Amino acid sequence: MEPYLISTKEIQVSYADTDMMGVIYHANYLKWFELGRCQLVEDAGYHYLDMEEAGYYAPVYQVEVTYKKAVHYGDRVFVKTWVEENQGLWTVYGYKVVNDSGEVCAEGHTKHILVRKDNFKPVQFKKAFPEWFRRYEEIKKNRHKTYCLFFVWYYQFCSNAS
Amino acid sequence: MEPYLISTKEIQVSYADTDMMGVIYHANYLKWFELGRCQLVEDAGYHYLDMEEAGYYAPVYQVEVTYKKAVHYGDRVFVKTWVEENQGLWTVYGYKVVNDSGEVCAEGHTKHILVRKDNFKPVQFKKAFPEWFRRYEEIKKNRHKTYCLFFVWYYQFCSNAS
Amino acid sequence: MEPYLISTKEIQVSYADTDMMGVIYHANYLKWFELGRCQLVEDAGYHYLDMEEAGYYAPVYQVEVTYKKAVHYGDRVFVKTWVEENQGLWTVYGYKVVNDSGEVCAEGHTKHILVRKDNFKPVQFKKAFPEWFRRYEEIKKNRHKTYCLFFVWYYQFCSNAS
Amino acid sequence: MEPYLISTKEIQVSYADTDMMGVIYHANYLKWFELGRCQLVEDAGYHYLDMEEAGYYAPVYQVEVTYKKAVHYGDRVFVKTWVEENQGLWTVYGYKVVNDSGEVCAEGHTKHILVRKDNFKPVQFKKAFPEWFRRYEEIKKNRHKTYCLFFVWYYQFCSNAS
């Protein structure tokens, strides 16, 4: 059993995304992250457009990518995406780009805030979408870590108590 | 003297726009056409955003590009743009991509309609922006051809009359 | 029965490909055509990289697109691709972008030549890839039209003869 | 006096680079960083193609971007670029995207390695391009910090000595 929800999205690798180095141009991985993120949102039971229809945008506040292995045109690649952090004011998604031999080609994360469409003022994801926020609490990466830490502590507590 | 207004815009050729063939990927020329078109609009005394602020979009209805000579990263390229046709319901812009040896690397045109932002329904450019439309009449390619035809006809008319 | 081979490729519509008009930016349809074309090549039993590995590129010489209906983020779209013309010196692919209601959002074609990788000099597709060329003869759009014309002529010829 | 070389490159902001949020799509800032970096390389007296012609590529190993203020179509923006780190095995470039009011819209860095074109094996920038490496030593951000630390140490050393 997966300890937290990891979505998998196969990417359509396009010639347009290569550069004269013969590999995928680095900026295009961010588009792949976007596709992975949308898949995760769908797997969690939502759609990004739900946010926009409710009057919000979820712009990217920060990105970080480390490139491990160049992707070539003709390779089959998949983006694996999960919720890394789910705070009141931001959500951090984690990503791995893997090829069909299971090699990690890139990994990274994007941090998103939630803003009102009309004025781009930040709002709390937790308040704007409480159910969606709770869903992320269930599927996020650190939930189980928290549980584990709790169990370790509880075990020690009980051990000490006896 | 230029017989009609031709704008010139130098393009920032980017590595991102190359592909593994070692040349600029063909779709990116349409972005260059966009930059050329905006330069022409500015040279004519307007800005594309004037349209959007007035409640309209000018989407592309048709494009056609012929690629004559591959552009490489490191080349200096310029887009030359003019108004090819200026009809009530559409505007056709003509383009040439030239390098710094004056060679034509690509040429093409884009046909634009004008629509309302709220419902994407077409409206007449002539009615929505009468002054801008008249400006295009002045600078368009076929104006002088029309004049020439008129003079030919007038000369013949006068000759016949005498 | 399909009178000629038409490939269907579902496209991953990405937020990255939208513009501030709220629709897919027109240049991105050319990337979709590329994905459709590669699907057709695969359906015909080949892969574009076979060309490159054999020492050739198949650059785009001409494109033409007509935009009929804007595509929005969240729409499901498919590119339908076929071989429109299969000449000694060029291949023309035809395309239709359709949504899941079957509406045609765009249509167009791209004309490709075949060049040597080392010097970009054109070569005959028919000579470089005779088997692939013959495969295109089988699947191309006008084959059946040619057959029909032949049968019409043959029928008339026989009728006259008798 | 600038304590280290900072290049400034005005960016051609294109409609193609906007998204349906009405702002520049986040991945496109990486293309702007590329333009800024090339300007810095030129200002330092070189050209990226010098590397490729000598048989090397300088792929991106890591990127990090923080988005502070959305850029809109019609804004004038500039990328300021400098050498942040110049190590034997990698070069880190720092970037700021500023608008014409001097506001910082984004900042980030990219870490590059140097690899052989034929096998993508990393090589030392210092060994492959010793002169270029020394030039980066002169213009990099931390040079003066190093000098300052040296002077502080030297001052203390002398003070202690006396």
**Mean pLDDT across D117-141:** 96
SS (H, E, C) chain A: CCCCCCEEEEECCCHHHECCCCCECCCHHHHHHHHHHHHHHHHCCCCHHHHHHCCEECCEEEEEEEECCCCCCCCCEEEEEEEEEECCCCEEEEEEEEECCCCEEEEEEEEECEEECCCCCEECHHHHCHHHHHHHHHHCHHHHHHHHHHHHHHHHHHHHHC
Question: What is the pLDDT at residue D88?
Answer: 86
Interchain CB distance below 8 Å, D19 and C23? no
Residues paired with C7 in a beta bridge:
C81
C47 at interface of A, judged by CB pairs closer than 8 A: yes
Domain annotation covers residue A141: yes
A26 at interface of D, judged by CB pairs closer than 8 A: yes
Question: What is the pLDDT at residue A1?
Answer: 40
CATH of the domain at B52: 3.10.129.10
- Minimal C-alpha gap between C153 and chain A (Å): 44
Domain annotation covers residue D56: yes
- Mutation target among A51, A67, A104, A107 for the D interface, most CBs of D within 10 A: A67
Helix then strand count (H, E) for chain A reads 5, 8
- Minimal C-alpha gap between B57 and chain C (Å): 7
Task: Provide CB contacts within 8 A for C43, sequence distance 6+.
Answer: C5, C7
- Asked if C11 contacts C32 with a C-beta cutoff of 8 angstroms, the reply is yes
Interchain CB distance below 8 Å, D22 and C23? no
| Residue in A with minimal Cα distance to B22 | A20
The sheet carrying D122-123 orders its strands as D56-57, D114-116, D122-123
| Residue in C with minimal Cα distance to A35 | C14
**B57 vs C contacts (CB less than 8 Å):** 21
Distance separating alpha carbons of residues D106 and D97, to the nearest angstrom: 5
C20 at interface of D, judged by CB pairs closer than 8 A: yes
**C27 vs D contacts (CB less than 8 Å):** 16
B14 at interface of D, judged by CB pairs closer than 8 A: yes
Domain annotation covers residue D142: yes
Q: Is the dihedral of CA D39, D44, D50, D52 positive or negative?
A: negative
Distance separating alpha carbons of residues A100 and D1, to the nearest angstrom: 53
Instruction: Give the pLDDT of chain C (162 residues) as one tens digit per residue.
Output: 456 999 999 999 999 999 999 999 999 999 999 999 999 999 999 999 999 999 999 999 999 999 999 999 999 999 999 999 999 899 999 999 999 999 999 999 999 999 999 999 999 999 999 999 999 999 998 765 555 555 555 556 556 554
Question: What is the pLDDT at residue D162?
Answer: 46
Interchain CB distance below 8 Å, A15 and B22? no
B19 at interface of A, judged by CB pairs closer than 8 A: yes
Distance separating alpha carbons of residues C19 and A77, to the nearest angstrom: 26
Distance separating alpha carbons of residues B57 and B110, to the nearest angstrom: 15
Question: What is the pLDDT at residue B13?
Answer: 98
- Mutation target among C15, C17, C20 for the D interface, most CBs of D within 10 A: C20
Per-residue pLDDT band for D145 (boundaries 50, 70, 90) equals: low
The range of the structural domain enclosing residue B78 comes to 7-161
Distance separating alpha carbons of residues A87 and C155, to the nearest angstrom: 77
**In the A/B pair of chains, how many CB contacts fall below 8 A?**
28
C74 at interface of A, judged by CB pairs closer than 8 A: yes
Q: Which residue has the higher pLDDT, C149 or B44?
A: B44
Question: What is the pLDDT at residue A162?
Answer: 46
Question: What is the pLDDT at residue A134?
Answer: 96
pLDDT higher than threshold 80 for residue B4: yes
Q: B85-98: per-residue pLDDT in tens? A: 999 899 999 999 99
Per-residue pLDDT band for A88 (boundaries 50, 70, 90) equals: confident
Domain annotation covers residue D1: no
Single out the catalytic residue among C17, C19, C43, C100.
Answer: C19
- Mutation target among D21, D26, D57, D60 for the A interface, most CBs of A within 10 A: D26
| Residue in D with minimal Cα distance to C28 | D16
pLDDT higher than threshold 70 for residue D73: yes
- Asked if C23 contacts D22 with a C-beta cutoff of 8 angstroms, the reply is no
Residues paired with A99 in a beta bridge:
A77
C118 assigned to active site: no
- Asked if A6 contacts A140 with a C-beta cutoff of 8 angstroms, the reply is no
Distance separating alpha carbons of residues D122 and A72, to the nearest angstrom: 18
Q: C54-75: per-residue pLDDT in tens? A: 999 999 999 999 999 999 999 9
Question: What is the pLDDT at residue A29?
Answer: 98
Sole residue written with tokens 């972005």:
B31
Distance, CA of B90 to chain centre: 12
| Residue in C with minimal Cα distance to A42 | C74
- The shortest CB-CB distance from A27 to any of B16, B19, B23 is to B16
Look at residues A152, A2, A26, A11 and name the one whose alpha carbon lies nearest to residue A83: A2
Q: B69-85: per-residue pLDDT in tens? A: 999 999 999 999 999 99
**B48 vs D contacts (CB less than 8 Å):** 15
C70 at interface of D, judged by CB pairs closer than 8 A: no
Q: Between B130-139 and B142-161, two packed helices, what is the crossing angle to 10 degrees?
A: 70
For chain B, what is the mean pLDDT? 91
Distance separating alpha carbons of residues C37 and C42, to the nearest angstrom: 9
Global confidence as pTM = 0.89
Q: What percent of chain A has pLDDT over 90?
A: 83
**B63 vs C contacts (CB less than 8 Å):** 26, 63-65
Other residues' Cβ atoms within 10 Å of the Cβ of residue B35: 20
- Minimal C-alpha gap between A147 and chain B (Å): 45
- Please tell me the total count of domains within chain A: 1
**D16 vs B contacts (CB less than 8 Å):** 30-31, 34
For chain D, what is the mean pLDDT? 91
**Mean pLDDT across A89-117:** 97
Distance separating alpha carbons of residues C115 and C55, to the nearest angstrom: 9
Q: B103-120: per-residue pLDDT in tens? A: 999 999 999 999 999 999
- Minimal C-alpha gap between A141 and chain C (Å): 25
Domain annotation covers residue A94: yes
Distance separating alpha carbons of residues B25 and B35, to the nearest angstrom: 16
Look at residues A120, A79, A83 and name the one whose alpha carbon lies nearest to residue A99: A79
Distance separating alpha carbons of residues A61 and A85, to the nearest angstrom: 14
Domain annotation covers residue C1: no
- The shortest CB-CB distance from A15 to any of B16, B20, B22 is to B20
Strands C77-86 and C7-11 turn out to be: antiparallel
Query: Which two tokens mark A137?
Result: 């609490």
Distance separating alpha carbons of residues B65 and B81, to the nearest angstrom: 13
**A90 vs D contacts (CB less than 8 Å):** none
Chains that touch A (3 or more CB pairs under 8 A): B, C, D
